[in-house]
Amino acid sequence: MLEPSRRTQAGRRRFAAGAGALLAASAVAGCATMWRPALEPQAHVPVFDAATVASGERLAALGNCAACHTADPARPYAGGVGVATPFGTVYSTNITPAADTGIGRYSEAAFTRALREGVARDGHLLYPAFPYDHYTRLTQDDIRALYAYFMTRPPLDAPAHPNDLRFPFNFRPLVGVWNTLYLKREPWMPDPRRSAAWNRGAYVADALAHCSACHSPRTRLGGEDRMRFLDGGEAEDWYAPSLNANSPSPLPWTHEQLVAYLRTGIAPEHAVAGGPMQGVVENLGRADPADVDALATWLHSYLQQAPARATNAARPGALPAPAAADPDQLKQGYDVYAGACARCHEAGRAATSGTALPLQQAVALYDPDPRSLLHIVRDGIAPPGGAPARWMPAFAGILDDGQAAALAAYLRRYGAARPAWPDLEDSVRKARQP
């Protein structure tokens, strides 16, 4: 019988051998998916009926396609949007029917393969910043409708912008290994225990809107952590709050509030949409209202799992001055708040302009990290495209780093009554970096 130390060493060797075999098997399986054949180009864009095109337009709004594929509003779907990832920046491509620089030569089969497998018509692998790991669960009817919509957009000549990825992530065939780990080519299946509205919302959220792509944490390789579904993630350096029992929302959401927020970006007792969520809301406003209602039904089933928490949100009003024994930073933060924030945020939100949400109800104060609050303070909130909507001025040119950190520290303590954010000054410095 082996001595304990020898048994431990033998176990470690067996573990290392097993891990090595698993890694090798994953690499072999990944290599098998690296090289895909090119599909024949189509000579002419097909003719589509108006109903199919209209359905595709509504589906594209649910999928938020314009937000990622439109850098210039005057050139919709021509691509060029930089998507920041931990591995570098990936630029979206032209999905108009331009023959040479867009998808004009894509057949429906090639378009389907791109959405289901992440493979371009010429056979190269697409980077998973394009959420084909969600689109793989689309029905063929929905893929056909999306194809009809994009192939009937005005063709725009827009060559692909080179990606800016660090080595070895700029070696595109490695995406095959990622696909082996994270691409599950399984059709979406309804839950027979749930209502038709919930199941429609679940399909919209998963296969089209890909909500968990932002609202779930990521692994070190950039795949979704399926063990922490909707447990909070990030998008464009904004914190995307958890949408499950860990939601930081200071007040519970009703179904009606969720419908209003998803369609307009604002709901009673909740913060206005900001950052990347603005584009999502802008697109959902053009989607089928029944689909947005179903999405709210699905989302509410997760958010209502959040336990009731003691917060200041139920008692909105003027925020107090710090106590005499508080650190100077909190006193400085109160001075900034009183001079820059109180006039709007203590007026009480109403339908008219010049008023804002009481900050005790602002979810950014309750987030586990301060990124979203710092972006809001620094960059403000401006309606997309200059449309009439809620607006907040940017304070980047008014507040220095010390003042921004002091304001965040004060709001966290006296607005949310939560423990101080760690490394707040470092977060402020990162927030002002381009």
Does 13 or 120 have the greater pLDDT score?
120
Banded model confidence at residue 34, pLDDT cuts 50, 70, 90: low
**Would the pLDDT of 4 be above 70?**
no
Contact 420, 410 (CB under 8 A): no
Tell me the mean pLDDT in the region 395-422. Answer: 94
Count other C-beta atoms under 10 Å from residue 311's C-beta. Answer: 19
3-state secondary structure of 204: helix
Q: Is the peptide bond before 370 cis (omega within 30 degrees of 0)?
A: no
Please work out, in degrees rounded to the nearest 5, the angle formed at the alpha carbon of residue 199 by the alpha carbons of 196 and 200.
85
For CA atoms 90, 95, 96, 97, the dihedral sign is: positive
**Would you identify the CATH topology of the domain 328-431?**
Cytochrome Bc1 Complex; Chain D, domain 2 (1.10.760)
3-state secondary structure of 392: strand
Which stretch of 16-25, 247-256, 345-354, 414-423 has the lowest confidence by average pLDDT? 16-25
Contact 408, 377 (CB under 8 A): yes
3-state secondary structure of 84: strand
Banded model confidence at residue 9, pLDDT cuts 50, 70, 90: very low
Q: Determine the Cα–Cα distance for residues 290 and 217; give it in Å rounded to an integer.
A: 29
The pLDDT mean for the chain works out to 88
DSSP per residue, 411-426: IIIIIS--PPPTTHHH
Which structure tokens are listed for 85?
């990832």
Buried/exposed 169-197: b ≥16 CB within 10 Å, e otherwise: beeeebbbbbbbeebeeeeeeeeeeeeee
3-state secondary structure of 286: coil
Number of H helices and number of E strands within the chain? 17, 5
Q: Residue 146: what pLDDT?
A: 98
**Would the pLDDT of 346 be above 90?**
no
Task: Please tell me what DSSP assigns to residue 190.
Answer: -
Nearest alpha carbon to residue 201 among 299, 305, 54? 299
Tell me the mean pLDDT in the region 29-55. Answer: 83
**Would the pLDDT of 310 be above 80?**
no
Query: Mind listing the pLDDT tens digit for each residue in 197-234?
Result: 999 999 999 999 999 999 999 999 999 999 999 999 99
Tell me the mean pLDDT in the region 316-341. Answer: 92
Q: Do β-strands 233-235 and 238-240 pair in parallel, antiparallel, or remain unpaired?
A: antiparallel
**Would the pLDDT of 25 be above 80?**
no
Q: Residue 307: what pLDDT?
A: 83
Helices (H), 33-101: 50-62, 65-69
**Would the pLDDT of 235 be above 80?**
yes
**Would the pLDDT of 24 be above 70?**
no
Task: Please tell me what DSSP assigns to residue 39.
Answer: P
Q: Residue 354: what pLDDT?
A: 63
3-state secondary structure of 82: strand
Tell me the mean pLDDT in the region 270-277. Answer: 91
Question: Which sequence spans correspond to the domains of the chain?
Answer: 50-182, 196-303, 328-431
Tell me the sheet residues that pair with 258. Answer: none
The dihedral over CA atoms of 116, 122, 127, 128, expressed in degrees to the nearest 10, equals: 0
**Would the pLDDT of 6 be above 50?**
no
Tell me the mean pLDDT in the region 245-255. Answer: 94
**Would the pLDDT of 352 be above 70?**
no
**Would the pLDDT of 406 be above 50?**
yes
Does 172 or 384 have the greater pLDDT score?
172
* Residue % of the chain over a pLDDT of 90: 71
Q: Determine the Cα–Cα distance for residues 382 and 67; give it in Å rounded to an integer.
A: 16
- Left, alpha or beta for 423 (phi > 0: left; psi -120 to 50: alpha)? left
Q: Residue 54: what pLDDT?
A: 97
Q: Residue 11: what pLDDT?
A: 45
Q: Determine the Cα–Cα distance for residues 371 and 275; give it in Å rounded to an integer.
A: 11
Query: Mind listing the pLDDT tens digit for each residue in 257-273?
Result: 999 999 999 998 999 99
Tell me the mean pLDDT in the region 33-39. Answer: 78
Helices (H), 255-399: 255-264, 276-284, 289-303, 328-340, 342-345, 371-379
Q: Residue 20: what pLDDT?
A: 47
Q: Residue 44: what pLDDT?
A: 87
Tell me the mean pLDDT in the region 98-120. Answer: 96
Task: Please tell me what DSSP assigns to residue 386.
Answer: G
